Amino acid sequence: MKPAKFEYYAPQTLQETLEVLAFYGEDARILAGGQSLVPLLNFRIMQPSALVSINHCQDLHHLALEAEDIVCGALIRQVEAEHSAVVSQSCPLLAAALPWVGGRANRNRGTVCGSLAHADPLAELTAVATALDAKFMLASVHGRREVLPEEFFLGELSTCIEPGEMLEAVRFPAVGADATAAFVEVGNRQHGFAVVGVAAQLEYEPDGRYRRVRLAAIGVGSTPVRLEVAEGILTDTYGDMATVKEASHAAAIGLEPPGGFHADAAYRLKVLPVLIERAVKQAHAARYEQKEH
């Protein structure tokens, strides 16, 4: 099918974008990479009155380390973040997850912020943002606000972005060079939707103990789930196998995953600990690769 008619806007700056958004309110949608939005338009699941393309707003095209955070503007394509030295050095979890986000042709165009704002419950980057306590920078003509993942993700395809507001940038906390990370998932196709996925990032004490563990999962709830119990068990340990297993199994307790066409709830609960174990092991092993360099 073809999209329904819409008014097209191509503002050149964030300010102009916000003005159009203020005018249309909830009848307008932001068009960035379009990898999630345009399928919905093509099938007429969505029929907004206006599309506001931010593809010409150079002031939204920025990716840099600012103070303690990597700030990723709304126009940064996934592939740009994937190839960015600042991301691979200071945000290993984002770097690890990006290759899983769709195929290359999709990542060439899709944006980091767009994937987050679309809030598909199986989007890898939502787990990254949740694990890292990323800050979502929302902007409207009335001003700016900053929200955390638990406030941002409200449910399947649903966020706290208000009509007239847009996700201007995301701030991922930067970590030191010795931090390592891994993203693992199971799914039907490498670049298809995940069934369950786990994001893990480890920071270390000089003696090798885990100073800080960050874990989050997709595919076990309508929003990404922070695995705090497992993080607690692993923190301040050396990540020996018994502890990793204990933490992985503890993480699944109390979760109520959805069913679905590709996997039922019981399968998701069964595969989650396996993936947590795999993710922690992989992240831990990455430390040895680092040392070799």
Binding interface with another protein (CB under 8 A): 1-8, 10, 31, 34-35, 38-39, 41-43, 49-51, 53, 55, 79, 102-106, 108-109, 189-191
Would you state the structure tokens that stand for residue 281, as one six-digit string? 């092991």
Measured from the CB atom, the residue of 123 and 134 that comes closer to another protein is: 123
189 DSSP assignment: S
**Diameter of the chain by CA atoms?**
61
Please state the closest distance from residue 8 (CB atom) to another protein, in A. 4
162 DSSP assignment: P
Measured from the CB atom, the residue of 7 and 66 that comes closer to another protein is: 7
Measured from the CB atom, the residue of 5 and 291 that comes closer to another protein is: 5
Please state the closest distance from residue 12 (CB atom) to another protein, in A. 12
Would you state the structure tokens that stand for residue 170, as one six-digit string? 């995301």
Q: For the beta carbon of residue 277, count every other beta carbon within 10 angstroms.
A: 21
Please state the closest distance from residue 104 (CB atom) to another protein, in A. 6
- Do 24 and 49 touch, CB atoms closer than 8 A? yes
Nearest Cα neighbor of 289 from 88, 136, 94 is 88
Measured from the CB atom, the residue of 16 and 178 that comes closer to another protein is: 16
Backbone angles phi, psi at 100, to 5 degrees: -85, -15
Please state the closest distance from residue 37 (CB atom) to another protein, in A. 9
Measured from the CB atom, the residue of 92 and 102 that comes closer to another protein is: 102
Please state the closest distance from residue 5 (CB atom) to another protein, in A. 4
CA distance 8 to 47: 13
Would you state the structure tokens that stand for residue 291, as one six-digit string? 């040392």
Measured from the CB atom, the residue of 114 and 273 that comes closer to another protein is: 114
CA distance 220 to 273: 11
User: Which parts of the chain fold into alpha helices (H)?
Assistant: 14-24, 37-42, 78-82, 85-90, 92-97, 104-109, 112-118, 124-132, 149-152, 228-234, 241-252, 265-292
Please state the closest distance from residue 207 (CB atom) to another protein, in A. 37
Please state the closest distance from residue 237 (CB atom) to another protein, in A. 34
Q: Residue 143 region, left (φ>0) first, then alpha (ψ -120 to 50), else beta?
A: left
Measured from the CB atom, the residue of 34 and 219 that comes closer to another protein is: 34
